């Protein structure tokens, strides 16, 4: 794709971002409290084409709210340079102690007096060491061929925490979604040859979509907010150059989404309040960590969409919090106009026609549950109600104020506290060379203090 075509496509994305915002302006309930806040904060940044190209880059980070491993803007000094003092303040403001991951970061452990800007520390100071550990896990579990086939060959969005391995780039966000994709492969695609149409609700900037489109001949529909749609359009256009895209400007000419259009286009990236005709039958719905951010009334509407359009033997992959983020739902200072309407996964309005395919605590996120279900005509074979009851029992552990929750927070703070002062003690009384050896030995210990968490 030439630079002119790239420029034309970026112009189209900016135009579509404006069109999409106009299209949903009377649907205020579509933006959760968190996303409404982020929209107000970053709206103007999405109009800059350079920001789109560098959407995961230093200080740009348009994927805030989608990419949980993005950069912290407050890690920069006024001159735009990375500052150890700024990093300390950024982390100490979030917790009572210096974040333990900072003490393991490339920046903190650099032997240079003034580490360069590309020291690559991030929101929670996830760095190359941690990302490489995840890469090794994926290679061990799934095989190197699977990993090399699916990870991107270009650092799309210019992430400062994307690292090169052979011919691909990897980072913790992409690797986490690679695990989700592998679950879908094993539990859905390997057991069905009928997955032709897929709808992902709230898909971030398109990482999972890329894995699916890359591996299977299917029609992919992404329903999301304007900002996410813009980034997904850019990301997939860079990774899937041979696909034909249907965006909001196309939709406004048509007035609805129908099966005829599915035959003409490959990838559809649209707001969720579009009109979907009855002849659209969906074989797989996906929602990963976004229903948990929505008001429950919006979740109910999405379930109506799922129940209406799911195929007779279709699947739903649902990965969301046991207990939704009460900070945003309950924050009366930030959000004065909306009462609490929490979206806890055990309360999701499944009808009776679902059979559980996979149900487990989510990979790397102990507060999140993975639930993959298959449509089941015979209600006697359905087990969704019993499974939701089991999930509800697990959810009680994560209610703030519960004994389990109090113990969990205490153990977490204790680990942070001990890590902090042990590492600072080592730095004060040992040479940098010996410090490195001692820390490497301590990190290998499988004890409470030095386990990740």
**In which residue are the tokens 């929505």 written?**
294
d(CA 86, CA 81): 10
- Asked if residue 385 and residue 440 are part of one domain, the reply reads no
Q: Are residues 204 and 304 in the same domain?
A: yes
Q: Kindly state whether residues 362 and 409 are assigned to the same domain.
A: no
3-state SS class at 247? coil
The residue behind tokens 């302006």 is 25
303 with 335, same domain: the answer is: yes
pLDDT at 408: 76
Q: Are 257 and 277 in contact (CB under 8 A)?
A: yes
Whole-number Å distance between alpha carbons of 314 and 195: 8
Query: Is residue 391, in this structure, part of any structural domain at all?
Result: yes
For the chain, 453 residues long, give each residue's pLDDT as a single digit of tens: 444 447 899 999 999 999 999 999 877 666 665 666 666 777 899 999 999 999 998 778 888 878 766 554 444 444 444 444 444 444 444 443 345 555 556 656 666 666 555 554 444 445 777 889 999 999 999 999 999 999 999 999 998 888 999 999 999 999 999 999 999 999 999 999 899 999 999 999 999 999 999 999 999 999 999 999 999 999 999 999 999 999 999 999 999 999 999 999 999 999 999 999 999 999 999 999 999 988 888 999 999 999 999 999 999 999 999 998 765 555 555 555 555 577 899 999 999 999 999 999 999 888 999 999 999 999 999 999 999 999 999 998 888 777 877 887 788 778 777 777 787 788 778 887 787 788 777 766 655 444 544
Structure tokens at 288: 């990963």
Contacts of 20 (CB under 8 A, 6+ apart): 225, 226, 229, 230, 248, 271
Say what the pLDDT of residue 326 is: 64
pLDDT for the residue 122:
43
Last residue of a domain, one of 363, 379, 398: 398
Please indicate, yes or no, if residue 138 is contained in any of the structural domains. no
- Count of domains observed in the chain: 3
Parallel, antiparallel, or unpaired: how do β-strands 310-321 and 282-288 relate?
A: parallel
Looking at 378, 398, 418, which one is the last position of a domain? 398
**Continuous segment of H or E residues that includes residue 288:** strand 282-288
Assess if residue 140 is contained within a domain. no
Q: Determine the pLDDT at residue 100.
A: 52
Output DSSP code: residue 336.
S
Sign of CA dihedral 445, 446, 449, 453: positive
Q: Where do we find the tokens 């970026």?
A: 10
Q: What is the pLDDT of residue 255?
A: 97
Write phi, then psi, for 313 (nearest 5 degrees): -120, 35
Q: What is the DSSP letter of 385?
A: H
Say yes or no: 190 and 259 in one domain: yes
**CA 407 to mean position of chain CA atoms:** 27
User: Which is nearest to 316 in space by CA: 324, 332, 305, 331?
Assistant: 305
Same domain, 209 and 65: no
Residue ending a domain, among 93, 113, 128, is 128
Is residue 430 a part of any domain in this protein?
yes
Nearest residue to 318 (alpha-carbon basis) of 279, 352, 285, 294: 285
* Domain shared by 66 and 182, yes or no: no
- For 219, which DSSP code? E
Domain residues for the domain of 40 are: 3-128
In this structure, what CATH number is given to the domain that contains residue 325? 3.40.50.150
pLDDT score, position 446: 53
Q: Are residues 68 and 49 in the same domain?
A: yes
159 within a domain of the structure (yes/no): no
- Asked whether residue 116 falls in the same domain as residue 190, the answer is no
User: Is the residue at 158 inside a domain?
Assistant: no
**452 in a domain, yes or no?**
no
The residues facing 310 across adjacent strands are 282
Is position 150 within any domain?
A: no
299 and 277 assigned to the same domain: yes
What is d(CA 132, CA 130) in angstroms, rounded to the nearest whole number?
Answer: 5
One domain, residues 98 and 221: no
For residues 132 and 141, give the distance between their C-alpha atoms in angstroms, rounded to a whole number.
14
Structure tokens at 335: 């959000």
pLDDT the model gives residue 94: 41
Same domain, 71 and 101: yes
Residue 302: which residues within 8 A CB-CB, separation 6 or more?
201, 272, 287, 291, 294
The dihedral through the CA atoms of 267, 273, 275, 280 has a sign that is positive
């Amino acid at each position: 794709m030439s630079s002119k075509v790239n420029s034309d496509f970026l112009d189209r994305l900016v135009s579509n971002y404006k069109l999409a915002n106009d299209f949903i302006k009377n649907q205020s309930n579509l933006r959760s409290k968190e996303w409404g806040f982020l929209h107000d904060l970053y709206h103007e940044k999405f109009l800059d084409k350079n920001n789109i190209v560098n959407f995961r880059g230093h200080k740009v980070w348009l994927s805030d709210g989608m990419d949980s491993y993005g950069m912290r803007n407050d890690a920069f000094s006024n001159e735009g340079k990375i500052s150890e003092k700024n990093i300390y303040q950024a982390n100490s403001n979030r917790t009572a102690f210096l974040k333990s991951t900072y003490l393991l970061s490339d920046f903190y452990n650099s032997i240079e007096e003034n580490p360069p800007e590309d020291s690559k520390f991030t929101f929670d100071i996830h760095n190359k060491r941690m990302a490489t550990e995840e890469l090794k896990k994926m290679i061990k579990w799934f095989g190197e061929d699977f990993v090399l086939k699916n990870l991107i060959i270009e650092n799309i969005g210019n992430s400062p925490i994307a690292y090169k391995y052979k011919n691909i780039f990897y980072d913790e966000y992409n690797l986490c979604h690679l695990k989700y994709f592998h679950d879908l492969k094993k539990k859905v695609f390997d057991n069905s040859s009928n997955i032709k149409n897929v709808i992902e609700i709230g898909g971030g900037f398109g990482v999972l979509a890329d894995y699916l489109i890359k591996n299977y001949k299917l029609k992919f529909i992404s329903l999301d907010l304007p900002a996410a749609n813009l980034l997904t359009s850019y990301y997939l256009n860079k990774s899937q150059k041979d696909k034909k895209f249907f965006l909001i400007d196309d939709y406004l000419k048509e007035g609805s989404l129908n099966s005829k259009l599915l035959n003409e286009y490959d990838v559809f990236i649209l707001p969720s309040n579009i009109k979907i005709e009855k002849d659209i039958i969906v074989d797989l719905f996906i929602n990963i960590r976004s229903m948990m951010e929505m008001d429950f009334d919006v979740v109910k509407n999405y379930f109506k969409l799922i129940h209406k359009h799911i195929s007779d033997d279709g699947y739903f992959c649902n990965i969301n919090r046991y207990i939704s983020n009460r900070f945003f739902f309950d924050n009366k200072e930030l959000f004065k106009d909306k009462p609490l309407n929490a979206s806890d996964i055990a309360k999701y309005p499944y009808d009776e026609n679902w059979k559980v395919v996979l149900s487990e605590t989510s990979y790397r996120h102990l507060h999140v549950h993975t639930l993959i279900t298959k449509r089941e005509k015979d209600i006697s074979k359905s087990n969704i109600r019993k499974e939701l009851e089991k999930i509800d029992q697990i959810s009680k552990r994560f209610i703030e104020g519960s004994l389990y929750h109090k113990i969990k927070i205490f153990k977490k703070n204790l680990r942070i506290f001990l890590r902090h002062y042990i590492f600072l003690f080592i730095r004060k009384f040992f040479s940098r060379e010996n410090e490195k050896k001692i820390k490497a030995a301590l990190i290998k210990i499988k004890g409470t203090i030095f386990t990740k968490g």
